[in-house]
Each structure stands twice: as structure tokens, then as C-alpha cells.
Amino acid sequence: MSVTINTNSAATIAKNNLNSSNTLLQKSLNRLSSGLKITSPADDAGGLAVSMKLGAAIKRTGAVSTNLANAQSYLQTQDGGFQTAGKILERMSELKTLAADVTKNSTDIANYDTEFDALKAQLIAISSETFNGVSLFTSGASATTLSVGTTEDGGTTVDINQAALGNAVTAATSATDLADVSLAQLTTAIENVATLRAENGAQSSQLSFASDMLTINKQNLEAANSRIIDVDVATESTQLARASILVQAGSAMLGQANASSAIALQLLS
């Protein structure tokens, strides 16, 4: 091996190896400090693109879950209206029965009619209730539907009803007094409200299962994204220790390589 002054190949090689080791060390430090396996697009361009799409899907899934929860609240509020309407109709039928008592005089009947009028007004008021400005019930003869998305891509929906409560209880709300409505009509109105509650419950149950499915999908999307973007701390810690040792060894060897040039001075003395 020749001894030279102008060129120190050993020092150059040691410096290049040290630079490579230091790059590995810095990369491990960045990954461990951020918790991310991909700290720049150059680390895994394809993986980063997939991760961005998965991340967007996760966000959308969370938003759909929120929408479903709001739709559930809508149905629960609507069912509260049905419950109240049912209780009003029950009281109306009770009043109708009490008014049929042959021992009641005209004043008694008038008192019953006064309560009937108040209950009728409340029943009409329920039909115009809203949830965050959205009508709970339709004023038409049949229900109208609201479409609720159940998947993050918008490809699947569930319809919930703006029920026709007014039409279901029209016999009670259109009567001028107890004499103007029959017990059979009130019984039919109670049955109509019971049917509306059953439909409400079925829609609520469907939304619950859709929400459960969304939770599972979100969990799996997060797991898939984690495999791409999140650093394996155990593996990266090992790489950090290796790179740290290489940097220390490289620094020592670079010092040795630089010192080897001093041999040329000894030959000249």
C-alpha cells in the first residue's frame, strides 16, 4: 500500500460510511419521535398515497357515524311525539266513555268537552313539532322519507319517515266535541299511532345495525392505515441502536484514517 499526502482514500471511505450511518440514525430518530414510518414521501410514495385515501375514508366514516347518531335522535324525538299522542288519545277515549254515563248532566258533559278541546289542541300542536328545524311529521296523507347515508362512500342509504301523524289522528282532531267522535274512531286512531311507533322502532333498529357496521369498518380502516403509516417501535429501536453504533464506529475510524496521513511526515523527518 502506497503512502500519500494529497489523497487519503481510507478517510474518504470512512467519511462516506459515516454519512450513510448518520442518515440512517437521523431517519430512525425522525420515525421514533413522530411515531410515523413514513416521514416524507420519499420513504414510501405508494404507501403514502394509499394512507391518504384510507385517512380520508376514516374521516368520512366518522362523519357518517355522527349523521346516523343524529338520525337516531330524530327518531327518538319523533317517538316521543307518538307516545304523547297515544296518551292523549287514551285520555280522549276515557273521556268519551265517561261522557256516556247516564248519570252525567249537561254541565258534566261540557266539562269533559272542555278537556277534550284542550287535548285536541295539544294533539294538533304535536303534529307540527320539528327537530333542529326539520319537521318530525308530514302534513300530508302519507309519510315522506328522509334518506340517511350509512356508508362512507354514500353508496348505501336508509330511509326514515316523516310520519303522517295528523292523518292518523284526524278523527280526533277534526271532531268539534266528544259527541262528534265515536269510541271506535278513537280506538282506530290509537291503533294508527301504535303502527307508526312500530315503524319508527324498525327504522331505529336498522340505523343501530348500520351504526354497528360503521364502527367495525372504521376500526378495520384504522388498522390498515396503521400498518402503512405507523412505525414499529420495537423494530425501529433496534435500527436506531445499530445506526448509533455505526456512527460512533465511523467517527472513530475516520479519526484513525485521518491520523494515518501522519506516517508520511515521519518518513520525511
pLDDT of 126-147, one tens digit each? 999 999 999 999 988 899 999 9
What confidence category does residue 267 fall into, taking pLDDT thresholds of 50, 70 and 90? low
What is the rounded average pLDDT of the residues 75-99? 96
Domain boundaries, the chain: 9-35+231-268, 46-228
Q: Note the pLDDT tens digit of each residue in 215-255.
A: 999 999 999 988 888 787 888 788 878 878 877 877 777 77
83 alpha carbon, distance to own chain's centre: 29
Is 46-228 assigned to CATH 1.10.10.10? no
